[in-house]
Amino acid sequence: MKKIIAMAMVLVVLFSGFALVQAKQDQSKNDKKIDKEYKIHEENGIHDVPGHPNMKVKVFVHKAKGGKPGKPTPTPTKEPDVCELSDENSSSAFVGPMGTILPANWEYTLNLNSVPSSVGSENLKTIVERAFSVFSEDSGVNFTRTKNKTTLNRARYDGKNIIAWGATSAGALATTYTTYYVSSGEVVDVDTIMNNQYPWSWADQAEYSGCAYSDSYDAQNIMTHEFGHWLGLEDFYTEDFVNHTMYGYGAPGEVKKDTLTLGDIAGIKAIYPNVP
């Protein structure tokens, strides 16, 4: 009898071990499937969300102007070496909305391990907070960082709203993926992946107002643009918009997207009209 019980126990242990391995394999298979589905969606435009016919995902690819990936730069030791005029915020060309809207309280999660050393993972919280802050007053949206960090660096519909450096389509500085309900436009998930194939830096504007590093892309500058998409703003590519945060191209040594133009603000106010 004892023998039978012992054998039964061994079988139970074996079986649960097998079930665990199987579950893990299923999970990773599922992850790969999700990655594959989203990978198809690396190009600009509106796409289906697998398994969710009531949702769509809009992909914004933010291109480098005429740029190919350069070599990621080492941690800058010099001071920012290029400065811009600060009077460009009067541009008033209207930045139209794309039809999505963020709920009033919105959480995001950072992948600190993915930050290039030339930006500094210890700076990411500040960079992201500052980039969100330019939208807070006019949209009324409260942005909160979750206590959990993430190691994800792929966009997917999982209820986490991640900001990470990772692989994204060639020629893109960053890509933002907004998943939303088709009927209401309400956003349910949004992720921004910064392309780790480009050289990045960050010039702290509290110290170096209007200045940046000429040989790399400023993280806050590009993130502010991406967060404009989180809030529902479109990309614009014509001459009227070159000074706007929502201008569709980014350039090295640029920090003018850190602050909104009158046209960007008008776009936010149109999406969030009930904010006093």
Please provide the distance, in angstroms rounded to a whole number, between the alpha carbons at the two ends of the chain.
Answer: 77
CB of 23 to Zn ion, least distance (A): 39
CB proximity list for 119: less than 8 A, separation 6 or greater: 127, 200, 201, 202, 219
Instruction: Report the residue number, 73 or 139, with the smaller CB distance to Zn ion.
Output: 139
Residues that bind Zn ion (CB under 5 A): 60, 62, 235
CB of 261 to Zn ion, least distance (A): 15
CB of 191 to Zn ion, least distance (A): 14
Instruction: Report the residue number, 56 or 62, with the smaller CB distance to Zn ion.
Output: 62
Instruction: Report the residue number, 156 or 257, with the smaller CB distance to Zn ion.
Output: 257
CB of 143 to Zn ion, least distance (A): 18
Residue 234 and residue 188: Cα distance in Å, rounded? 18
DSSP per-residue string spanning 122-177:
GGHHHHHHHHHHHHHHHH-PEEEE-S------S--SSS--EEEEE---TTEEEEEE
CB of 102 to Zn ion, least distance (A): 16
Instruction: Report the residue number, 60 or 227, with the smaller CB distance to Zn ion.
Output: 60
Phi-psi region of 124 (alpha: psi -120 to 50; beta: other; left: phi over 0): alpha
